[in-house]
Structure 1
Amino acid sequence: MYGLIGQLRTTEAGRSEVVAALLEGARDMPGNVAYLVAEDAEDPAAVWVTEVWESEAAHRASLDLPSVRAAIARARPHLTGMGMRVVTRPVASLDA
């Protein structure tokens, strides 16, 4: 498995648009195990994305999907930069 946790920096006014774009673009991504979008509780200009993929190749392939490309284009005007990014190796999941 392959995992990513990343922070996106947004305009304060555009954060909800970025969240909506990410969630819309994340539907039906082959090889995706989990995709979680979260607003930072302390920073109104930050969004965190946690992803779990079957493989790194599946993640790379997702970036060519029309839905993902459209989501990136929709979010881009509201982004001000990238924050921290961490690659992880998921080992287990507990369903809530």
Structure 2
Amino acid sequence: MYGLVGSMLVLPENRGVLLSALADASADLPGCLSYVVAADAEDPSLVWVTEVWETKEAHAASLELDHVKEAIAAAKPVILGFGTRVETAPVSVR
């Protein structure tokens, strides 16, 4: 399995736009075992995404899907930057 945990920075008033775009992107992702979009509990300018994929290649292929490209285009204007990004090797998904 292949995992990613990452954060994105956004103006607090645009966080809903980013959360919605990321949630839209998470629909129908072949090879995706888990895709969690979360608002940071303390920082209104921070959004977290935690992903688990069958393989690294499945993740890369997802970036070529039309609905993912559309979601990225919708999210790009409100993203101020990227914070932590960590690749992981998941051992269990429930």
TM-score band by shorter chain is over 0.9
Partner of 2:74: 74
Partner of 2:35: 35
**Which residue identity is paired with 1:73?**
A
Q: Percent identity?
A: 49
**Which residue identity is paired with 1:80?**
L
Instruction: Could you list the structure 1 runs, at least 4 aligned residues long, displaced by more than 3 angstroms after superposition.
Output: none
Q: How many residues align?
A: 94
Structure 2: give runs of 5+ residues left out of the alignment. Answer: none
Shift of 1:92: 1.0
Shift of 1:93: 2.5
| Alignment TM-score, normalising by the size of structure 1 | 0.95
Shift of 1:25: 1.3
User: Residues 49-88 of structure 1 correspond to what in structure 2 (within 5 A)?
Assistant: 49-88=49-88
